[in-house]
Structure 1
Amino acid sequence: MLQLKKPSNLVLKTIKSRHSFMSAVNLRSISLLMIALWSLNSFAQIPGIPANMSFPTSVGRPTTTSTGTKNSSSRKVTEIAAEKNEVDSLKRKKELALNEVDSNIVNLRKKIFGYSIFNNSKITFDSYARMATPKNYVLGPDDEIIIDINGYSESHATLPVSPDGNIKVDRVGNIFVSGLTIEEAKKRIVSRLSQIYVGLKASGGAPANTTATISLGNIRTIRVTVIGEVIAPGTYAVPSLAKVFNVLYQAGGPNENGTFREIKVIRGKKLVARVDLYDLLTTGNLRQDIALQDQDIIQVTPYKSRIEIVGKVKKPAIFEVLPGENLEMIINDYAGGFLPEAYKGVLKVTRFTDKERKLIDLSGDILASFFPKSGDFITIDQILFNRYENAINLKGAIFRPGRYSLNDNPTLTKLIKRADGFKEDAFLDRITLVRLKDDLTKENIAINYRDILSGVIPDVTLKREDEITVYSGIEMMETYTVRIQGEINLIAREKLAERFASGSTSVGALPSNTETPSVGTFPYVKNMTVEDLIVKAGGLKESAATGRVEVIRRKKNIWKDDPSQITPTIGEKFQFGINPDLSISPSASKFILEPFDEVFVRSSPNYERQQFVSIEGQVIFPGVYALERKDEKLYDVVKRAGGLNAQAYPAGATLIRKVRLTDQEVERKSKQLQELNDNNTDATLRVEPVKQVYEESIGIDLVDVLSDESSKSNLLLQDGDIIRIPKEPQTVRMQGEILYPTSTRFIGGASFKHYISEAGGFTSLSARKRSYVIYANGSVDRTRKLLGIINIYPKVNPGAEIVVPRINQKQLVTQQLLSTISTITASLSGITTIVLLIRTIQ
């Protein structure tokens, strides 16, 4: 069971200070409140709770705890639960006041100088537990005094100040300290203690052997009221060490209408201090931050005079000014001074009059004598960044181009010397000077610098904003080049690097005999020979014909006002041989190139790269074969492959050849296919995009070739050809406009229509006369007309594919119309017959 102790002086004082509250409740409520307070005071006596545990007590900040041990430096603020609830309520009120303002007021507050210091959560004025006790601190009830006796005698005591203002010292009795400063209290306590501790005083010439240290322990709570133009006005319970800035920070500081310059502290109906927050904001000095006492009132009245400064100052803001403060002091002390780019010649002041606004152009040299009025809006512009008062610009073929000072370089020769002189390619015969005239138009002045150096003309005196350009002789010349093409390694080397990078080792990756000749363009250099140019181009290919090199040179026709000298010749040709190893030797050509020469290295007529063909399918040795001769034919390669095996079907053999079209050929072929489709009224063709590189199947008669080597079917082979010899197929495929596209078994002697029947027959949209057969060897045969009436269908062989196109939409409409007309005609004929019979009977 909880053991209740006699209430402490703190509890008794709290009950007395709440007399008005207690009178409003019944006796039972008072008893419950006393029990709760006594329980709180006895909480540390409960088993299992540490004896040094305490509860948070400081206002709005984490509290420190007092262990009660000797020489304890921690300190806490004594308060009761009711006061804490009241402080929490004020905090919530402050938060609501900050959250409920509209955006215009928020923006206005941000511009007010000094407002941010109270609106910054990282700034705090609370340091009660760690600050030294001020010497002028006035003691009162609920303060604690710590007494330490050291030396000949040892003693320690923590003594609260009672509501009567006394501390009770063991063996000394009550000592009255309320209302005394901490220094005055120290003297009184030591005086009383010396009565029982004789060693505290020196006697008989002997020094004192005992010392007494008096310090302040836990401090009391005082109540301070903040009224006027603040964010959250109200009464705040704060530690007795609190000062003006502590309480203003708790209240959120002055609002958008509150003064920062004349904050009043009222004590006992008397004005005890006027606080100017600008002193703290500008100097960081807290000298006006006076200590507060219980029942003090902080009054923040509305401001009297404000101005706004914008533009090129370090701290643009809305400033509150006092009488006698001039604009120079405001800018330097409050706004932080001008920025380096500020234009100080004229400041723009917008001022309110009784009827309207007016604009004042304020000269920068009278700021000390200008006293702004409330509402003034002062704008400080920046200097002209794109203009210099003494700049000249030098550019072109000089070593150090850029802007220079006119004062240090008044003439052209001094300017050139300051820029470390001309580059080697400088064109000195015509230097351009562009000058800005008085009417802001520009004029061009041409200068021959060589004449200045020789004294023919005087040195040029420069002016502000002059722009001098020195041209490069090389840049003024046409860009000289030479070009070489043909059997050089320029492009071949690049392709080889790409091939190795991609890891390609296939036959198709090998270079073909139709490669585009390599072309290289190089800057012209004096005394360059043909061999020099070939070396720059990567050397010669193996295929180069070194005995026949051609150079084509431009014909330089100089016009001399004589039309008879105009000739049809546009170039000169030079032909000679060169040393194959390109060495510098007596056998070298010694041919010196000139600008824009075109060099051609021809290919040797007897040189050929290896060419390859592939044979696949039913031969004894299928694979890749290199052509031995330029005239090697189909029969030769089949024989080299060992001939056909027993499963081969030579009638179905095909030749696959790669076709490469130029861009013009692709465009022309696409146009032809589109026109063919547009002009075909019988059947619809599906136009496929034309590929630039594709494989083409060529129908060959291998049976004829193998039976007669001299047959016209024995084709010459090309690099990359693929010969495919399949097994004998056993099926025929039908597709297109038939009822059931399918494949069926080949039957020897069966007709075209038999296979159409196997696929369900023609449909109503079948273009029968356009039907055709694709044979196994890639050849095609079409349907023909006998006497323009009867369809003669092609023969069907094993592996063939029958294709039936679809009727064109226009032809379909025509057929439907003819059918309708035929039906109507037949109907009319029948009706006429019936009418005639009726008339005959009658």
Structure 2
Amino acid sequence: MQKALFILLIFLQGIVLGQLNVSNIKELGITSEQDLQKMGLSSSEITALKQQYFNGELESKKNIPDLSKNAELNPKEETKIVLPVPNIKKEKEDSSKTFYGKNIFVNGSVHIQENSDRIKAPHNYILGSGDVISVVIWGTSEFSGTFKLDEYGNITPSLVGRISLKGKKFSDAQKIIKSAFARVYDLRNSKISTEISYSKVINVSIVGEVTSPGTYSIPSINSAFNFLSLAGGVTDLGSLRNIKIIHADGNVDELDVYKFLNKPEIPDNKYLNNGDFILVPTMGNVVSAEGVKRPQQFELKSDETLSDFLIFAGGVSQKCFDGTAHIERLTNGGVKIIDVEKKDFSTFKLQSGDKISFYEIDESVLNSISIRGSVVSPGKYSYIQNETLKSLVERSGGPITASLLSVGHIYRLNQNGTRDLIRVDLNKMFNSKKPNSSPVLLANDIVNIFDSRKLEENHTIRIAGIVRKPNNYPYSNNMLLKDLILIAGGVKENADLTKVDIERVDFTNGENGYVKVIEVDLNTMDDFELKPYDIVNIRRLPEFSFQQVVSIVGEVKYPGNYSISGKSENLFNIIERAGGVTSEAFLEGGYIEREEDSVGLVVIKIGDLIKSQKSKYNYLIKPKDIIHIPKESNIVSIMGEIGYTAHSKNGDTKISCPYSKNKRAGRYIRNYGGGFGKNAKKYNVYVIRQNGLVEDSKFFGLIRPIVKKGDVIKVEPKKPKKPKTEENRIDWNRTIESLSVKITGLATFWVLAQQINP
């Protein structure tokens, strides 16, 4: 069995380490599985190595460039190294379910350095074959050269001789180079600079719990962190505390990521050599936490305590109590709660599966006292033992002008959470000189100084009626009636100042509905004082109106617009004011167009009106009336359905003819209108007089009206007959049948009636 395992390990090391042969294995001293255990590998890690070997996960990357043959490097001939980038899908996870430190390899925190980058080697970088060093001297002596370490790790500058640098830290190599060059060059008066211009390319195999295990070829300037990042980081099962770096010479280093995360100033970069491999084992103890600054899962070593854990977790959250940690530990009998006091944090060891909790602190303020309301600076203040209310008010800046000092409140907290109210006469407290006049305050007291402005209702007052700005207005103390009128923009010209009504609320008299009306004459009383909620009504002057205009047109001497003089002015007065009618006025005609109440046309007989003011046509004039006095005319117009076929501009058939005294409308139609038209309704002839009257034909249209001067004769057309349709045609067969049925029914009814009454 041991021989078979030994052969397996030889093949495993040959594939993983790439360039190592059987003699290398022997140099490592690995002859059995126990040798690997002595190197620090656990059984599970050795099993993982064997599984990865049989699954083909340890195949070396091919086509690795060999730079060892070049004595000096020409930058133009540098071979580009392609770095495989694992395809890692990033998902946003709950912080309480993530592992602390594992995202360092996958979120861009670790940068892979290439030789195309400007290399700045750290002081603990280990030199080896393939590294290229540049040396520059300036000052009294000058020198510049680039040297590649040969297979033995030596450089050989001219004049200086061979310098062995293999396995040296870069900081030590700088001192060795300076000492060697000082034997040839004057470095007392010159300065020397030694830098790495090209880092050797090494092959390193990564196995265990990483996303993409395999062999990677990158410049050796990259540390173990860079290699792990290149492999996609550690898996969810992988350890961050016990990463093994197995060197080709058999030495084993351990990489603790937590140590780097919490103390990055301490150099712990593990630099590798060609043929090394990195083993990431599974996690050890895992704990979770709440109430800490990093509420995540953590991997702990077996000897680490609660204090060590708090360093990784960033300490206890500011909102939580740090005096006690509450541990939920899973045992065979169930979950057990362990409370650990702060003094025991450094000795209490955690176990895998522990859940650490720190409880939140009650945010209630313990040593406060509050003052609110009408003081200069209300708010929370620190409690001072035996402080009086007067002292606290003074600390808060004192009361303001609007403070209500007749009473103040103190709300005192009881043990059951309720509060008692304590009343204080603030006037008495401030004016008294006795030391005990002000009550002593206790912690958590709340003091309230009332604002008198907030206790008063915003009183209003209203003015309505004949003022320029009727509205509600804020009430002010000592406001007079004349002040309110002035605020409202003053009264209008038609306001009656002898009768101003004030409707006042009387809160003391409920029997009369609390409202009383006060009548004020402003001409005799201009200092009337108002009260809140008063309603002031400014009335209009009785029967007052501004100028109201009527128009008179036609046959008067002075046609135009006239203002009505009083409410009783009549038509006769208006015609007289217009100079009377002219000699051409048609005394039998005239009319008024009245807009008021939509009356419309009002008939006038001017002749009757002129003869007597008592004429029934002497109407009272209304605003906006238009009075028409027509001109006498000896022309008669005929229109409508007449034989005359000429049309006026508006489309009507119309003809005018001379007036003949006492002739009826039919004569004018026959003599001047060409007779009746074919569609004329001969019995519907009427006459329109100049005063708007309409006179119709009488005695079934046979006696037509007598025509007067200026009349218009109108002949109406017949109504168009509706065309007969199938619906309105009479069905005589159905009519006769229906009639027969009705007659038969009546006859039957009559016979029955005769039999009942013989």
TM-score, reference length from structure 1: 0.54
Question: Match of 2:204, SS?
Answer: strand
Q: 1:779: which partner in 2?
A: none
Q: Is the 8 A contact 2:608 2:617 kept in 1?
A: no
1:643-679 alpha-carbon deviations (Å, 9 max, x no partner):
9xxxxxx99998777xxxxxxxxxxxxxxxxxxxxxx
Query: Could you tell me whether the CA contact under 8 Å between 1:77 and 1:239 is conserved in 2?
Result: no
Question: For residues 209 and 240 of structure 2, what CA distance do their matches in structure 1 show?
Answer: 10
> For 1:216 and 1:824, how far apart are their aligned partners in 2?
134
Give the 3-state SS of the residue equivalent to 1:285 in structure 2.
coil
Structure 1: segments with no counterpart, 5+ residues: 1-16, 21-58, 60-67, 491-517, 560-565, 579-586, 644-649, 658-695, 733-743, 750-757, 759-795, 803-814, 837-842
The one-letter amino acid paired with 2:337 is L
* Structure 2 residue identity aligned to 1:575: V
Q: Does 1:608 align with 2:545?
A: yes
Structure 1 residue 237, shift from structure 2 partner: 0.8
Instruction: Look up the match of 2:263.
Output: 283
Given the alignment of the two structures, is residue 826 of structure 1 paired with residue 738 of structure 2, yes or no? Answer: yes
Q: Deviations over 1:690-714 (max 9, x none)?
A: xxxxxx9x36226658898777797
2:240 aligned to 257, 260, 263, which one? 260
Q: Determine whether 1:352 maps to 2:352.
A: no
* 2:89 maps to 1:98: yes
In 2, Cα distance between the equivalents of 1:450 and 1:210? 89
- 1: distance between equivalents of 2:331 and 2:562? 105
> 1:281 offset after TM fit, Å?
1.6
1:230 counterpart SS class: coil
**8 Å CA contact retained: 1:75, 1:218:** no
The residue that corresponds to 1:576 in the other structure is 521
2:184 corresponds to which residue? 201
Aligned to 1:522: 474
Partner of 1:435: 412
Mapped partners of 1:375, 1:470: distance in 2: 57
Aligned residue runs from structure 1 range 784-803, under 5 A: none
Asked if structure 2 preserves the Cα contact closer than 8 Å seen for 1:656 and 1:722, the reply is: no
Q: Classify 1:831/1:381 alpha carbon distance in 2 versus 1 (closer, same or farther; 3 Å).
A: farther
- Between the aligned partners of 2:168 and 2:368, the Cα distance in structure 1 is 74
> Which of 375, 378, 384 is residue 356 of structure 2 equivalent to?
378
Return the offset for 1:382: 3.0
Distance 1:747 1:633, change over 3 A: farther
1:465 and 2:447 aligned: no
Identify the residue that residue 297 of structure 1 maps to in structure 2.
277
2:644 paired residue number:
none
Q: Which residue of 544, 548, 551 maps to 2:495?
A: 544
In structure 2, the partner of 1:515 is: none
Contact kept, 8 Å, 1:349 with 1:376, in 2: the verdict is yes
CA drift at 1:456: 12
Distance 1:479 1:607 in 2: 38
TM-score by length of 2: 0.60
3-state SS of 2:265 partner: coil
Distance 2:183 2:225 in 1: 41
Residue of 590, 593, 599 corresponding to 2:527: 590
Question: Per-residue CA shift, 1:273-331, capped at 9, x if unaligned?
Answer: 222222322232251102211111122222212222223x4333222223443334433
On the 8 A contact 1:267/1:295 being kept in 2, the answer is yes
Post-superposition offset of 1:431? 3.2
Which moved further from structure 2: 373-382 or 469-478?
A: 469-478
Alignment map for 1:488-507 (pairs within 5 Å): 488-490=467-469
SS in 2 for 1:471: strand
Q: Which amino acid aligns with 1:421?
A: G
Partners of 2:173 and 2:513 in 1: CA distance:
125
Q: Give yes or no for the alignment of 1:411 onto 2:388.
A: yes
CA distance in 1, matches of 2:461, 2:264: 77
The range that moved more, 218-227 or 370-379, is: 370-379
Given that residues 592 and 627 in structure 2 are in contact (C-alpha distance below 8 angstroms), is that contact kept between their aligned partners in structure 1? no
Match in the other structure for 1:238? 218
What is aligned with 2:463? 484
Q: Secondary structure of 2:198's partner?
A: coil
Q: Is the 8 A contact 2:137 2:193 kept in 1?
A: yes
SS in 2 for 1:222: strand
| Total equivalences in the alignment | 578
Classify the secondary structure of the residue corresponding to 2:202: strand
How big is the alpha-carbon RMSD for the aligned residues of Structure 1 and Structure 2?
Answer: 5.9
Equivalent in the alignment of 1:786: none
**Helix, strand or coil at the partner of 2:369:** strand
1:430: how far off?
A: 4.0
Structure 2: distance between partners of 1:607 and 1:432: 61
Q: Secondary structure at the match of 2:485?
A: helix
CA distance in 2, matches of 1:403, 1:722: 85
From the superposition, tell whether residues 148 and 571 of structure 1 become closer, same or farther in structure 2 (CA, over 3 Å).
closer
The amino acid across from 2:261 in the alignment is: L
The structural deviation recorded for 1:169 is 7.7
**Which has a greater percent of helix?**
1
- Corresponding residue for residue 65 of structure 2: none
- Name the aligned partner's letter for residue 601 of structure 2: D
Q: Deviations over 1:212-232 (max 9, x none)?
A: 987544333111122222232
SS at match of 1:600: strand
**CA–CA distance in structure 2, aligned partners of residues 140 and 615 of structure 1:** 127
Cα pair distance change 1:350/1:183, threshold 3 Å: closer
Query: SS in structure 2 opposite 1:532?
Result: helix
Please state how far the C-alpha of 1:574 moved relative to its aligned partner.
Answer: 4.2
Question: In the alignment, which of 98, 108, 119 is matched to residue 131 of structure 1?
Answer: 119
What amino acid is the match of 1:523? Y
CA distance in 2, matches of 1:109, 1:133: 38
Q: What SS class does the counterpart of residue 826 from structure 1 fall into?
A: helix
Give the counterpart of 1:317 among 296, 301, 306. 296
Q: Distance in 1 between matches of 2:326 and 2:716?
A: 99
Q: Equivalents in 1 of 2:288, 2:552: separation in Å?
A: 95
Residue 113 of structure 1, CA deviation: 1.9
Structure 1 residue 534 corresponds to structure 2 residue 521: no
Alignment partner, residue 662 of structure 2: none
Q: Matched residues in 2 for 1:296 and 1:553: separation?
A: 105
Alignment partners' CA distance in 2, 1:610 and 1:522: 37
The percentage of aligned residue pairs carrying the same residue is 25
| 1:118 equivalent in structure 2 | 105
Q: What is the rounded CA distance, in whole Å, between the counterparts of 2:320 and 2:481 in structure 1?
A: 66
